[in-house]
Chains A and B, each alone.
Chain A
Amino acid sequence: MDATPAPAYVLTGETGDWEVVIGLEVHAQVISTAKLFSGASTTFGAAPNSQVSLVDAAMPGMLPVINRACVEQAVRTGLGLRAHINNRSVFARKNYFYADLPQGYQISQYELPVVGEGKVILDMPDGSSRTVGIERLHLEQDAGKSLHDQHPTKSFIDLNRSGVALMEIVSKPDMRSPEEAGAYLRKLRSILRYLGTCDGNMEEGSMRADVNVSVRPVGDTGLRTRCEVKNVNSVRFVMQAIEVEAQRHIEIWESGGTVDQETRLFDPAKGETRSMRSKEEAHDYRYFPDPDLLPLEFDDAFVENIRATLPELPDDKKARFIADYGLTPYDASVLVVDRREADFFEAVAKGRDGKTAANWVISTLFGTLNKKGVGIEDSPVSAENLGKLIDLIADDTISGRIAKDVYEIMVETGGAPDAIVEERGLKQVTDTGAIEAAIDAVMAANPDKVAEVKGGKEKLLGWFTGQVMKATQGKANPGMVNDLLKKKILG
C-alpha cells in the first residue's frame, strides 16, 4: 500500500470518524478443459451429473492426479499478479462433511501455496493509482452443488462442478473503501481475462468473493476484529456489503459492544449481512498434507516458459497508451480494462490522432455498445470503419456534425463511412460559391439581424452560422462559413 495515505473514505459515527479495512478472498475458476485432479470435463451448463469421473464422485480407492494445465494456469496468474512463484508447494486436505463434498474433504493448499506475495495496481476514477498487496494464491477443488428447489423434501446433488480447479486469491487488508474493493475486483478480473486463466464471470459463479471487513477510528493503526462476508457474487454487492457491514461494526463499537469474529452472509434484497457461523461454530478443518499427492514441484524453466507466453498486461498497456497515444491516465485505464477493447482502440488509433480515437471509442462507441448491451466483439461498427470515419473528419470530407450522423448510419447498417457519405451526398461543401450563395440567401431574409451584427452584436454571427449550416443540410464546412460570414457582414 502507498505510504500513509489520508483515508479517502471516512464514515462518521456518533463518536467520531471511522476508517474501514478490507481484504478480499477471490475464488476464480480456472479455465481448463479438465478438472484439477480428474479428466472430467469442466464445461458450464451440462446436464446434472454428466461430467463426473470416479474420482470426482469419491468412489472407494480412487486417487487424484494433478492436471498440469491447471498448474500452468495458476503460475500464469501468479506471474500476472507480479507474485513470487513457489517452485515447491503442497496440497492439503481440508476436512468437513457436506453432501456436495464427495470426499469429505477438499483438496486445497494450506501452508505452502503455489503462489506467494504479489500486487495489484488499482486505477481510481480520478486517474490516481493505489497498490493492493496479494498475500497468496493457491489451487483447490471446487465442491459440487446442492439443489434444494427440485423436490419438496429432498435435496439433489449435482457433481459436475465437483473437482473443478479454483484459484483462491487472497489480498492483504489493504483496501480502505468500497470503491477500492470494487476497483480491485475489476482490475483482478481484467488481469485474469488478459491471462486467459479465468473468465471472471461473477454471474455464473466462476469468480466469487469473500469479503473481510473491519473498522477502526481514523488515526488508529491496529486492526480490530473482522467479519468475513461469504460468497458475494457481484462487484456491486461487494461494495454494498462492505458499506452495511462497516456501518454495523461502527454501531456495535459506538454502543460499547464488541464485534464478534464470525462468518456472515450478505442479503442483497434486504441490504444487510446476517450471521452464518460464529467463531465457536467455525469448522475445524483438520488440514494435513494430502498423502495421495506428492508435493507439487517444478523448475525455473517451467515458470520461464510460461512467462514467455504472457500477453502485455493492463498496467503495461496503459503506460504504453499514455506514452504512445498521448492519452490521459484515466482514458488509458478505461481502454485497457478489456483486452479486446484495447485492441479495438489500437486498430482505430493506428496512424491517427490517439486522443481523437480514444474519444470516439470511449464516448461514442462504448455508449453504443452499452445501449445495445453487446460486447466489443459484436460491435456494429468495425475498428476499420471507425478509423475511416475519423479520417473523413480529418481531411475535411465531412464535418464533425455530419460525422455523428454518419456514425449513427454505420451503427444501423454496419456500412463503411466513405460509402455512406458518397451514397447520401454528405460530403462537406467547400465550394466558396455555393456557401456564399447560401449566406447571401440567409442575409437577404434577415436584414434586421445583419444590421444588428454590423451594429456591434457580433455574437449573432453564431446564429448566422447555424442558419447557413441548416440551409446546406450541415454539409457546409463550418470554418469556411464563419470566415465568409465575417467577410460579408463585417467587411
Chain B
Amino acid sequence: MTKLTDLTIAEARRGLAAKDFTAVDLAEAHIAAMEAHAGLNAYVTPTPDTAREMAAASDARIAKGEAGAMEGIPLAIKDLFCTDGTRTTAGSNILGNFVPPYESTVSANLWGAGAVLLGKANLDEFAMGSSNTTSAFGGAVNPWTRAAEPDRQLVPGGSSGGSAAAVAARLALGATGTDTGGSIRQPASFCGISGLKPTYGRCSRWGIVAFASSLDQAGPMARTVGDVAIMLGAMAGHDPKDSTSAPVAVPDFTAALEQGVKGLTVGIPKEYRPDEGLSPEIEAIWTRGMEMLKDAGAETVDISLPHTKYALATYYIIAPAEASSNLARYDGVRYGLRVLDEGDGLNDMYCKTRAAGFGAEVKRRILIGTYALSAGYYDAYYLKAQKVRSLIAKDFKDAFDTSVDVILTPTTPSAAFPMDDEPTDPVTMYLNDVFTVPTSLAGLPGLSVPVALTEQGLPQGLQLIGRPFDEETVLRAGRALEKAAAFTATPRLLEG
C-alpha cells in the first residue's frame, strides 16, 4: 500500500470511507513525517495534540456516517489565518505570542467540512516576500534541491512557502495559502505542487491577517489539481462578515474537472515574453504546455495584454500603500509585542515596538506605502496606480470577452533559487512575481500546475488564468495540463 503521507486528498477520502485506515492513522503518519523533517522549518507551530483530537473526532463522525467533504484530511494552515486558541504569528515578531480568540472563516469552513489541523505553516512576514526568508522564524526550506547541488538549500518561494514545502515534502495532504501578488502560485511552482489563487471575493478574508486588502485572497495548495478543487469547495463561500466577499454560489469544482479542453480557446499573451528575454528554458516549458493543451483539443491564440509591463510597478504602489495602513494596528497598545521602557511616552512605545517587531522587508513596504499615500504624492503614485490597475483589468476583460476562455503563462521567470543566493536587491526579488501580479491586480483566478523539471532538476509550473468566478474552467484546463504533463517527480528528500 502507498504510504499514507503519499496519498492525494481524493485517495485519502476514499481510504477513510472504505475504513482502510482511520483519520488518526492519517494524522499520526503526518505527525511522524513532520517530526522527521522538522529541519524544513515548514511549520512555525506544529499542533500534533490538536491534530490527534480533531482526527479522533473525525473518526467518530465517519463511524456515524456524518463525514464532510474534507473529513479526516490533515492540513497545514498558513500562519496568516487566525486559529482560535492556536498561536497565529503572521511570521512576525510583533505577533510572536498572539493567540486569537477567534477562527478565520476559511479555516472554520475547513473544520466544518471535517479537516484536521496539523499546524501553522511558515510564511514570509505578513506575507511580504517571495522566498520565505523574511519570516521571523527563519525561512522554510524547499524539499527540492538542484541535481548538481543536493546539499544546497533552496527557498520554497513565498509567501506561502511553508505551506508549499509542507505539501511537497508530504508533511500535509494539502495546505491553505494566501496570495496577494503570487504568494500561492509562485511557491507552488517552486515546490512542484498545484496552487490556486481564486477570484478575489471567492473566499472570505475574515480572520486572515491583512496584507493588502484589495488583493489578498485565500486559496488551496495541494499535490493534484483535483485536490485543489476539493479544497476550494470547502474553503469558498459568501461571508457576510467580509464586505468584499462575493455573494455567489459555490459550484462543485470537481464536477467539470475531467471534461477536457476540447473546444476551449487558450490565450498566449505576448507580453509575457519580456524585452529582457524570458529564459529559453522557461520559454520551452511554456511552449510544451501550449502543445499539451493543443494535443488535448484546445485551440491556442496569441493575445495581447498591453499594460502587463506596468503591473509590477503598479502592484508595488498599491500593495504597500494598503499594507502601511493595515499594519498600523500593531502598535503595542492592545495585543502582540510591546516594547516600553520606564518613563517612555506613547510615541516611544510606538517606535520601539514597531522597530523591534517588524523585519526589514515589512518596514520597507510600510515606508513605501506611507510615501505613496502622502500629501503631494498621492495623485502621482496611488491614484495613478489605481488607474493603471483598471487598465490591466480591462486588458484581461477584453481578451476574455473577445477571444479566449483561459490564458496560459509561465508562473515564474525562474525555478527556486538557493537560500544563500537570494537577491539582496529587493527589486530583483520583486521580479519573481512578474507573471502572477497582473492576475492579482485584475482579481482573476490563477492556477499554477507543475509541468516539468528544469535542467537543474527543479519543478517549474505554468499558470492558467480565467474569467472572474470561473475557477471551473481554470481547474478543467489545469487538470488537462496535469494529465498531459504527467508530472510525477518527487523531491530527492523523499527518496530512500
B104 within 8 A of A: yes
A102 and B334 contacting across the interface, CB-CB below 8 Å: yes
Bound form: Cα–Cα A407–B104 in Å:
67
A288 within 8 A of B: yes
Bound form: Cα–Cα A182–B405 in Å:
65
CB contacts (< 8 Å) of A61 on chain B: these are 81-82, 100, 104, 205-210
CB contacts (< 8 Å) of B328 on chain A: these are 95, 97, 103-105
B242 within 8 A of A: yes
Contact with B along A101-112 (1 / 0, CB 8 A): 011110000000
Nearest CB of B to A148, in Å: 11
Cross-interface CB contact of A64 among B208, B209, B243, B370, cutoff 8 Å: B243
CB contacts (< 8 Å) of A93 on chain B: these are 325
B373 and A104 contacting across the interface, CB-CB below 8 Å: no
Residue of A nearest to B346 (CB): A99
A313 within 8 A of B: no
B95 within 8 A of A: yes
CB contacts (< 8 Å) of B208 on chain A: these are 61
Nearest CB of B to A439, in Å: 85
Residue of A nearest to B104 (CB): A61
In the complex with contacts A65-B243, A99-B346, A284-B374, A60-B82 CB distance below 8 A: yes
A60 and B329 contacting across the interface, CB-CB below 8 Å: yes
Bound form: Cα–Cα A95–B244 in Å:
21
A288 and B331 contacting across the interface, CB-CB below 8 Å: no
Nearest CB of B to A92, in Å: 10
Which chain A residues in 97-138 approach chain B with CB under 8 Å?
97-99, 102-105
B244 and A58 contacting across the interface, CB-CB below 8 Å: no
Residues of B in contact with A, size category: 35 or more
A286 and B334 contacting across the interface, CB-CB below 8 Å: no
A63 within 8 A of B: yes
Bound form: Cα–Cα A155–B347 in Å:
13
CB contacts (< 8 Å) of A288 on chain B: these are 321-322, 325, 373, 378, 382
Bound form: Cα–Cα A105–B213 in Å:
14
Bound form: Cα–Cα A58–B244 in Å:
18
B241 and A63 contacting across the interface, CB-CB below 8 Å: yes
B334 and A105 contacting across the interface, CB-CB below 8 Å: no
Bound form: Cα–Cα A64–B326 in Å:
13
A218 within 8 A of B: no
A97 and B350 contacting across the interface, CB-CB below 8 Å: yes
A59 within 8 A of B: yes
In the complex with contacts A60-B209, A61-B209, A284-B374, A103-B329 CB distance below 8 A: yes
B90 and A66 contacting across the interface, CB-CB below 8 Å: no
CB contacts (< 8 Å) of B213 on chain A: these are 291-292
B98 within 8 A of A: yes
Contact with B along A21-65 (1 / 0, CB 8 A): 000000000000000000000000000000000100111111111
- What's the A-B contact tally at a CB cutoff of 8 Å? 98
Bound form: Cα–Cα A65–B334 in Å:
22
Which chain B residues in 366-418 approach chain A with CB under 8 Å?
370, 373-375, 378, 382
Bound form: Cα–Cα A155–B329 in Å:
18
In the complex with contacts A60-B209, A63-B243, A105-B375 CB distance below 8 A: no
B335 within 8 A of A: yes
A294 within 8 A of B: yes
B333 within 8 A of A: yes
Residue of B nearest to A283 (CB): B375
Nearest CB of B to A348, in Å: 50
B88 within 8 A of A: yes
CB contacts (< 8 Å) of A293 on chain B: these are 243-244
Which chain B residues in 321-350 approach chain A with CB under 8 Å?
321-322, 324-325, 327-329, 331, 333-335, 346, 350
Contact with B along A54-95 (1 / 0, CB 8 A): 100111111111100000000000000000000000000101
A411 within 8 A of B: no
B375 and A104 contacting across the interface, CB-CB below 8 Å: no
In the complex with contacts A99-B346, A104-B329, A291-B213, A59-B104 CB distance below 8 A: no
Which chain B residues in 124-179 approach chain A with CB under 8 Å?
none
Nearest CB of B to A11, in Å: 34
Bound form: Cα–Cα A62–B242 in Å:
9
A480 within 8 A of B: no
Nearest CB of A to B117, in Å: 17
5 contacts between A and B (CB under 8 A): A54-B101, A57-B334, A95-B328, A286-B324, A291-B213
Q: 6 new A-B pairs (CB below 8 Å) besides A60-B329, A99-B333?
A: A62-B207, A93-B325, A105-B325, A157-B333, A287-B373, A291-B322
Interface positions of B (Cβ within 8 A of A) = 81-82, 88, 90, 95, 98, 100-102, 104, 205-210, 212-214, 240-244, 321-322, 324-325, 327-329, 331, 333-335, 346, 350, 370, 373-375, 378, 382
